[in-house]
Every structure is written in structure tokens, then in C-alpha cells.
Amino acid sequence: MKKNILIIALLIAALTGAFTLKANAQDSTRILLADETTITYTKTVAKIECCNESIAKVILQKWEQLITRYNCTRKKDRNGVYKQYNIYLNKDDAQYIVKWAKTNL
């Protein structure tokens, strides 16, 4: 009986450790720019995710020449409906927005 409990406890610990490592590895490329605004890098593009409408408008107006595409979707959670803005740009151009956001957002 004690042997079975020990085996189950070790399996739970191993699974918890594996999920923790995977969760931390996924967030390593996500950088916080401002309140509710993050930037994520892939191989070729950078994606800015923003739930704050005023911040999204400022980024879209200031950096419209660097943006390749963007979209706005409505999402719903327990607090109600909100808009999520996804702004896509080249990975090389994203460094300008990151530097700008540190002082202006």
C-alpha cells in the first residue's frame, strides 16, 4: 500500500515538473511592453497583442509604416466582452517599437 502511494506521488511530481518547464519555456519569448500589451517573436514576424484600445491606437498611428497587418477581435470572459488587437510586423522592425515603448507607454 505504501509502495503504491509513493509511486503515485512521484508520478504527480514528475508531471507537475514537466508542465512547469513547458509553461515557462513558452513565455520566454513574450515581452511586456505596457499594461495588457505584450510582444511575441516567431521565426520571421513579431506579434503585438493588446487589450487596451488607447495603447493599440497609439501604436497603430505612430508605427503604421512598419505594420504589415493587424486585426481586432472581440473576446468574452467572465468580466464581459472586450477587444483584442493583434498587430503583426517584421521581426527586425520590432526592436524600434520595444525601445519606443519603454519611454512612451
The whole-angstrom distance between residue 51's C-alpha and the CA centroid of its chain comes to 11
Q: What is the pLDDT of residues 12-24, one digit of tens each?
A: 888 887 777 666 6
Using DSSP bridges, classify how beta strands 80-90 and 67-77 pair: parallel, antiparallel or unpaired.
antiparallel
Domain count, the chain: 1
Position 87 in a domain:
yes
> Within 13 A of 60's CA, how many CA atoms are on the CB side?
15
pLDDT band at 85 (very low <50, low <70, confident <90, very high): very high
61 lies in a domain?
A: yes
Q: What is the pLDDT of residues 18-74, one digit of tens each?
A: 777 666 655 457 888 888 899 999 888 999 999 999 999 999 999 999 999 999 999
pLDDT class for 11, splitting at 50, 70, 90? confident
Q: Is 78 a member of any domain?
A: yes
For the stretch 53-57, contacts whose Cβ atoms lie closer than 8 Å and that sit 24 or more positions apart, written own/partner, are 53/83, 53/85, 55/105, 56/85, 56/87
Q: Which domain holds residue 83?
A: 30-104
**For the domain that residue 74 is a member of, what is the CATH number?**
3.30.1360
Q: Are 59 and 80 in contact (CB under 8 A)?
A: no
For residue 16, being part of any structural domain is answered with no
